[in-house]
Amino acid sequence: MQGIIGKKVGMTSIYNEDGKNIPCTVIEAGPCVVTQVKTVEKDGYDAIQIGFEDVKEKHSNKPLLGHFKKAATVPKAKLAEFTGFGNEKKLGDKITVDIFTEGEFVDVIGKSKGKGFQGVVKRYGFSGVGASTHGQHNRLRAPGSLGGSSWPSRVLKGMRMAGRTGGNNVKFLSLRLLKVIPENNLLLVKGQVPGSKGSYLIIKK
């Protein structure tokens, strides 16, 4: 599936032709460089690997430096694989937002904001306050019973408990592209996308 790597700039809103205010996310997408071409004969499948955003050489190890040198490009901060380009792209070719058209739908993949260690009320939406008429007086946001005591005498796997929240890979499906601005390498996507400002995103057709 064709796509591109980008970076979340922030949120704004635009007016459509009916005068309706639509919230949208601004994504700086590309230009990306093809850093590897994978084939069925050599790798078992057809795909291309692309890199986004230049970084200093000291931030890449020697194998990666050699990898980028083959593509005649400088080290990149983010790499990702895409299918659907066929044999159109060669090493060193550039991919820009021109592959998208306004009005089409895309999937956006990113890492959600980390919330740190959270209780079950925030993490899973537990109601919190239980039946205070049954002797409960100081356990307002506790998870309640964790299971049987005499049997099985342990907490079962998958029990919803407090823990670290966020920081997971998330995919938002079928977001409409409101605007494509090739001269500034920008995409305007309807609604929100995962991650904080400056975080990397993968946009797929």
Domain ranges across the chain? 3-114+169-204, 115-165
Tell me the CB-side half-sphere exposure of residue 202, using CA atoms within 13 A.
18
- For 12-28, write each residue's pLDDT tens digit: 999 988 899 999 999 99
Q: CA-to-CA distance for 91 and 73, rounded, in angstroms?
A: 9
From 91, 109, 100, select the one nearest 50 (Cα to Cα). Answer: 91
Q: Which residue type, as a one-letter code, is found at position 174?
A: S
Q: What are phi and psi of 87, to 5 degrees?
A: -100, 20
pTM: 0.83
Q: What are phi and psi of 154, to 5 degrees?
A: -160, 165
Q: CA-to-CA distance for 166 and 168, rounded, in angstroms?
A: 5
Q: Bridge partners of 51?
A: 33, 79
Q: Which of 56-65, 95-104, 118-127, 134-143 has the lowest mean pLDDT?
A: 134-143
From 5, 23, 3, select the one nearest 13 (Cα to Cα). Answer: 23
**Residue 130 has what pLDDT?**
64
pLDDT mean across residues, the chain: 90
Both tokens of 201, joined, read 């995103």
**Residue 139 has what pLDDT?**
79
Cis peptide before 31 (omega within 30 of 0): yes
Average pLDDT over residues 61-70: 91
CATH classification number, 3-114+169-204, choose in 3.60.70.12, 2.40.30.10, 2.30.22.10, 2.60.40.1150:
2.40.30.10
Say what percent of the chain tops pLDDT 90.
Answer: 65
Domain 115-165, CATH class in plain words:
few secondary structures
